[in-house]
Structure 1
């Protein structure tokens, strides 16, 4: 059984991808208001919001549990509407040696597609693949679309 893996989820949204990208880049502290059942809090822990190197502290609800995470922004690409995060602390790192999340918003004609890609390395073969976390991102995307976009 492989310890490293990759998961991808794509969700079509009805509104403009720029708005979704800007929310995650510049205003992640608004996400708890848009999906309070999944995300309870988001605060900038280090650095300046919306800049590479900044660290965000998250309180969220996953798999029936209250969880915490700190994510570091590794890259922001305005032209391609993408943001790369690394989990640097929190509950997920009890199961995974490394955990990276790539958010990309693509616009093709009138269609806007949000792609979440997760790359991870498990601490042991007994750790499940993060499929429930991909479901979390799908639900979060739909909540944001419903309540904001």
Structure 2
């Protein structure tokens, strides 16, 4: 049986948001787990793997839909 594989890379997209830059930065930097509430069809959630929420160098694992959204 083959070992588990993982995908590593960069994903970029453009999304129109209805919030100020300050509010968006506050959510992404300090409360990334709220992103799934704001975009339920695209972002399924995230987990803190290492470090602290909102701290530089922390590792966050994102679960998202790529391609067709629900």
Same-fold status (TM-score > 0.5): yes
TM-score, normalised to structure 1, is 0.34
Residue 34 of structure 1: how far off its partner (Å): 1.1
Return the index of the structure with the highest Cα Rg: 1
- Size of the aligned set, in residue pairs, is 58
Please provide the CA RMSD for this pair.
2.5
Higher relative contact order (CA 8 A, sep 6+): 1
Q: 1:14 to 1:59 in 2, by over 3 A?
A: closer
> Quick check: which one's strand share is greater?
1
Residue of structure 2 equivalent to 1:35? 39
Gaps (5+ residues) in structure 1? 1-7, 66-149
Q: Distance in 2 between matches of 1:63 and 1:11?
A: 14
4+ residue segments displaced more than 2 Å: 8-16
- Say whether residues 1:62 and 2:66 are aligned partners: yes
Could you tell me the TM-score, scaled by structure 2's length?
0.67
Structure 2 residue runs of 5 or longer lacking an equivalent are: 1-11
Superimposed CA distance per residue, residues 78-113 of structure 1 (whole angstroms, 9 cap, x where no aligned partner): xxxxxxxxxxxxxxxxxxxxxxxxxxxxxxxxxxxx
1:10 and 1:58, CA in 2 relative to 1: closer, same or farther beyond 3 A?
Answer: closer
CA distance in 2, matches of 1:23, 1:32: 11
